Amino acid sequence: MTDVDNEARRAWFSGNVLPLEGELRSYAKRFQRGADGEADDLVNETFARLISYDGWRELDSPSAFAHRILRNIALDAVRRSKIVSIRAVASFDELGLVDEAPNPEAVAVSRDELRRLMRIVAELPPQARRVFTLKRVYEMSTADIAEQLGLSVSTVEKHLTRALRICSERLGRGEVRQGGTYPGSPWRRLQDRGGET
C-alpha cells in the first residue's frame, strides 16, 4: 500500500468514522454486560476493524457498517462467554437477533432427508448411480466421467439426467421402497417388461 493510499484511508477514517464515536459508544452500552470500559472496548475494536477494512472505498454507509461491526463483535463476545447477563440477552432480543443455527428438529429432518436420498441413490440403476456419484459427490466434470467410465459425453449426460429425475420424483413424493423403485415409476414398468434398469 502506498503512502497516498494510507493518507486517503486516514482521511476517510477521520472524516467518516471518528465522528461516529459518541453514537457508537451509546450503541455499545446496550451490549455492556457489567464490566466498566466494555463499551469503550467495543468501540475501539470496531475502529480497529474499520481502519483495516480493505473495502473502505466502496462503503455507501460507514455508519451502518460500523454499527453492524460493533453488534457482531458484541454478539461474538456473548457467544464466547459462559455466563450471559439478562441485560445482554434483552439487548440482543430488542435488536431482533436470532440464533441462526438450526434447531434440533431441523437437524433431524435434514438427516432423515439425507438418509432418504442415500437410499434412493443406492437404488438407482448401476450406471446412473456411478455417474451421479462421480458428478455430485466427487464433483467431476462430465468429460472426466465419460473418460473414466469409457462412455460418450452424451451418454453420461443421459445417465445423469435419468438419475436426477428419479431422485427428484422420489424425493418429491416422499416414496422410498427398499429393494427397488417405487410403484408406478417408468423405470419400474420397463423393469416389469424385462428391460434394463
* Each residue's pLDDT tens digit, 95-146: 555 455 666 666 677 778 888 888 999 999 999 999 998 988 888 899 999 9
pLDDT of residue 60: 86
User: Is the pLDDT reported for residue 22 higher than 70?
Assistant: yes
- Structural domain count of the chain: 2
Contact 88, 78 (CB under 8 A): yes
The answer on 73 and 109 residing in a single domain is: no
Question: CA angle, corner 62, sides to 55 and 30, nearest 5?
Answer: 125
Q: Are residues 48 and 74 in the same domain?
A: yes
- Both 26 and 90 in one domain: the answer is yes
Tell me the per-residue pLDDT of 42-57, one tens digit each, with 9 for 90 and over.
899 999 888 888 888 8
Q: Determine the pLDDT at residue 50.
A: 86
Q: What is the mean pLDDT of residues 17-38?
A: 82
- Examine the domain organization and report whether 42 and 122 are in the same domain: no
Quick one: cell of 124?
438407482
Q: What is the pTM of this model?
A: 0.42
Is residue 151 predicted with pLDDT exceeding 90?
yes
**Please, which pLDDT band fits residue 195 given cuts at 50, 70 and 90?**
very low
Is 162 a member of any domain?
A: yes
Q: Which pLDDT does position 136 carry in this prediction?
A: 85
Question: How far apart, in whole angstroms, are the C-alpha atoms of residue 42 and residue 74?
Answer: 7
Tell whether 66 and 129 lie within a shared domain.
no
Q: Taking the CA of residue 23 as centre, how many other CA atoms within 13 Å lie in the half-sphere pointing to its CB?
A: 11
Query: Does residue 42 or residue 188 have the better pLDDT?
Result: 42
Per-residue pLDDT of 48-88, as tens digits, reads 888 888 888 888 888 989 998 888 888 887 777 655 555 55
At 59 the pLDDT is 83
Domain end: 94, 122, 146, which one?
94
Q: Is residue 164 part of a domain?
A: yes
Residues 39 and 112 in one domain: no
3-state SS record for 55-73: CHHHCCCHHHHHHHHHHHH
Dist CA 89 CA 97 (whole Å): 10
Between 148 and 183, residue with greater pLDDT? 148
Domain span at residue 115? 104-192
Same domain, 123 and 55: no
Q: What angle do CA 140, 163, 105 make, to 5 degrees?
A: 90
Q: Is residue 132 part of a domain?
A: yes
d(CA 132, CA 127): 9
Q: From CA 156, how far away is CA 105, in angstroms rounded?
A: 38
Determine the pLDDT at residue 102. Answer: 63
Tell me which residue of 63, 46, 64, 51 sits closest to 5, measured CA to CA.
51
- 185 shares a domain with 134: yes
